[in-house]
Amino acid sequence: MITPHQPTLSVLRHRDELKVHTGRLFIDGQWLEGHGMPWTHSHPATNEQVGVLTTATKAQVDAAVRAARRAFDGHWPHWKARDRKRLLQRIAQLVEANGAELDQMQTLDNGMPISFSSTYQAGHQIAADIFDYHAGWVDRIAGQTLPTFTGGDAVVMTLREPVGVVAAIIPWNAPLMLSAQKVAPALAAGCTVVLKPSEYASFTVIRFAEILAEAGVPPGVFNLVLGPGDGTGEALVEHPAVDKISFTGSRGTGRYVMRAAADGIKRVSLELGGKSPNIVFPDVDLDATSGAVMGMVSMGLSGQGCACHTRALVHESIYDEMVDKCALMAQLCVLGDPFDPATTSGPLINPQQLERVTGFIHSGQSQGARLVIGGDRPGGELAIGNFVNPTLFADVDNSMTIAREEIFGPVLAMIPFTDEDDAVRIANDTSYGLGASVQTSDVKRALRVARRVRAGTFGVNGYTVVPNAPFGGYKTSGLGREGGQEGIDAFLETKTVIISTGDSRH
Ligand code: NAD
């Protein structure tokens, strides 16, 4: 077994940056103290308390939904497209202008290394672009005129109208980008929103709410409630005046949300987890590919991304070489103080997740997978945080728990395959279907595999999420899409209007 990189960075060096922040609710254009149980936030790298949230009671969630209802039943859906478009553009500009601070807030919230939080994909720039992109939709939301089916004097047309009050619930791993993915299309469509961030990453979203207020979002159109899922979240999801729930989070919570939506026949969109395959054919540059394959799981959020490709399916002819190269890549990861630009890999979000990931590592060992590197925790100063060393399992069978469950930690399961059919069979042998990738220089093979693998996003030699393309899951990875036209459609209803132009009445 190769010994992992020994971290030497002090996570405590930036203690001053972990200053205490206080979170408040934003309801009907007012900042309010929450009257629920306060929530103390501990930083994942140190488990030091870094902030206190005042959480919303059921009555305060009710007040937020009622404010959103009033704004929806009032002026907001009838705003001029020009004004709504400018408002979204202003939000984009303010997110950009406050970008460095927002990126740091994410690092403060969830321990995402600043080296990752300041990338396009994870940081403020994609959030700004999401608002900019949806600003472009505002004056393009349009219905159709249809031919009269049976003849006669009539005009048949469809109107596209906002779905109503949206309950938007997001997880902790990308609070800024995920807030934007819900709020931007909802506002563009003319909906009003009550947003609940994760109790493990609320500070970025509080700052984001301040930006929306500064941009001039009218009272009640955007509301923020804070608190845990089983109090604040349930009160929001179950509220009868909510028309649509847009949820991003784990599959388990997604099931609950869908059942709760059924009671009120609420519209529901779900962005859930994944167990994405990365299929590696022999015709690639193994150095670059091993960096991408292992790096996706071990760097940045340390595998805590929904679309992290945590199953590497590697052709048998290059399998041993890929194992060695991925192990070397794991050694290059620098765990440490997330505020240090040299740190590549962050901690797990909380001690419960640390225990869960450690349990999966033990299951891999007990079920016979070969632990090549990692599997343990760094010592020294990092021992106080929720760090796990980048972990590579080889000789994994796709039936093992580590190949089936979403681990949400820096654990890569490497599985050999014999040929293209075998690779596709293993890739599809999962209940998830969020992302998938193929690594090859053969474009015909890439397209064949892309068509056969059942996943919402497919990468050929890697991919990045972009605002103008739909993102979402096949199978149990979700329902609906965010981004692109489908992302805006998710916040719209269709009304058919039939206008009789003849003399007869029906
Ligand atoms: P989670 O399901 O525990 O929590 C997500 C959100 O739901 C949080 O705000 C939480 O407070 C809230 N919540 C929890 N229980 C609730 C309840 N009973 N009623 C209402 N709200 C409730 O997920 P998490 O641990 O925060 O996030 C990790 C998960 O999110 C992973 O499974 C990951 O794959 C998924 N995720 C998916 C995407 C995507 O786009 N598909 C993106 C990011 C994360």
Rounded to two decimals, the pTM is: 0.96
Alpha carbon of residue 10 to chain centroid: 29
CATH of 12-272, one of 3.40.640.10, 3.40.605.10, 3.30.365.10, 2.20.25.90: 3.40.605.10
Ligand 1 atom with the smallest distance to the CA of 471 is: 40
Position 106: which residue type?
A: Q
Taking Cα atoms as reference points, which of 286, 254, 227, 218 lies closest to residue 74?
218
Whether the per-residue pLDDT at 113 is higher than 50: the answer is: yes
89-106 per-position pLDDT tens digit? 999 999 999 999 999 999
With a 6 Å cutoff on the Cβ, whether 463 touches ligand 1 is no
Return the structure tokens found at 485: 């036209």
Residue to substitute in 170, 230, 248, 355 for testing ligand 1 pocket (most ligand atoms within 8 angstroms of CB): 248
Which residues belong to CATH 3.40.309.10 in the chain? 277-466
CATH class of 277-466: alpha beta
State how far the Cα of 60 lies from the Cα of 63, in Å rounded to an integer: 5
Residue to substitute in 112, 169, 271 for testing ligand 1 pocket (most ligand atoms within 8 angstroms of CB): 169
Return the structure tokens found at 455: 């996943």
Q: Higher confidence at residue 48 or residue 436? A: 436
State how far the Cα of 369 lies from the Cα of 393, in Å rounded to an integer: 6
Main-chain dihedrals φ then ψ at residue 155, nearest 5 degrees = -120, 130
End-to-end CA, the chain: 81
Alpha helices, DSSP H, located in 264-303: 286-298
Burial 109-118 (b: 16+ CB within 10 A, else e): bbbbbbbbbb
State how far the Cα of 282 lies from the Cα of 374, in Å rounded to an integer: 26
Confidence of residue 9 (pLDDT cuts 50, 70, 90): very low
Q: Tokens 């206190």 appear where?
A: 52
Q: Yes or no: say if 272 and 477 are a contact pair by the CB < 8 Å rule.
A: yes
What sign for the dihedral angle of Cα 459, 305, 252, 481? negative
Q: What is the DSSP string of 420-439?
A: HHHHHHHHH-SS--SEEEEE
Q: Yes or no: say if 193 and 164 are a contact pair by the CB < 8 Å rule.
A: no
60-79 per-position pLDDT tens digit? 999 999 999 999 999 999 99
Q: What average pLDDT score do residues 361-376 get?
A: 98
Provide the Cα torsion 277, 280, 284, 288; round to 10°.
50
With a 6 Å cutoff on the Cβ, whether 182 touches ligand 1 is no
Is 306 marked active-site? yes
Cα 416 to averaged position of ligand 1 atoms, centre (Å)? 32
Return the ∠ at Cα 152 (arms to 148 and 157), rounded to 5°.
30
- Give residues with Cβ within 8 angstroms of 120, minimum separation 6: 126, 464
Main-chain dihedrals φ then ψ at residue 259, nearest 5 degrees = -65, -45
Cα 249 to averaged position of ligand 1 atoms, centre (Å)? 2
Confidence of residue 126 (pLDDT cuts 50, 70, 90): very high
Cα 282 to averaged position of ligand 1 atoms, centre (Å)? 37
Taking Cα atoms as reference points, which of 291, 311, 259 lies closest to residue 423?
311
State how far the Cα of 248 lies from the Cα of 230, in Å rounded to an integer: 15
Which residues belong to CATH 3.40.605.10 in the chain? 12-272
pLDDT of the residue at 7? 34
Q: What average pLDDT score do residues 414-437 get?
A: 98
State how far the Cα of 452 lies from the Cα of 424, in Å rounded to an integer: 7
With a 6 Å cutoff on the Cβ, whether 248 touches ligand 1 is yes
Confidence of residue 10 (pLDDT cuts 50, 70, 90): very low
Residue to substitute in 250, 269, 308, 465 for testing ligand 1 pocket (most ligand atoms within 8 angstroms of CB): 250
State how far the Cα of 330 lies from the Cα of 83, in Å rounded to an integer: 50
Confidence of residue 502 (pLDDT cuts 50, 70, 90): confident
From 199, 271, 381, 482, the catalytic residue = 271
pLDDT of the residue at 8? 33
Ligand 1 atom with the smallest distance to the CA of 434 is: 41
Is 493 marked active-site? no
What's the DSSP call for residue 233? I
Provide the Cα torsion 349, 350, 354, 360; round to 10°.
-70
Work out the mean pLDDT of the chain and round it to a whole number.
Answer: 94
Q: Tokens 């393309």 appear where?
A: 469
Residue nearest to atom 39 of ligand 1 (CA): 271
What sign for the dihedral angle of Cα 252, 249, 218, 469? negative
pLDDT of the residue at 490? 98
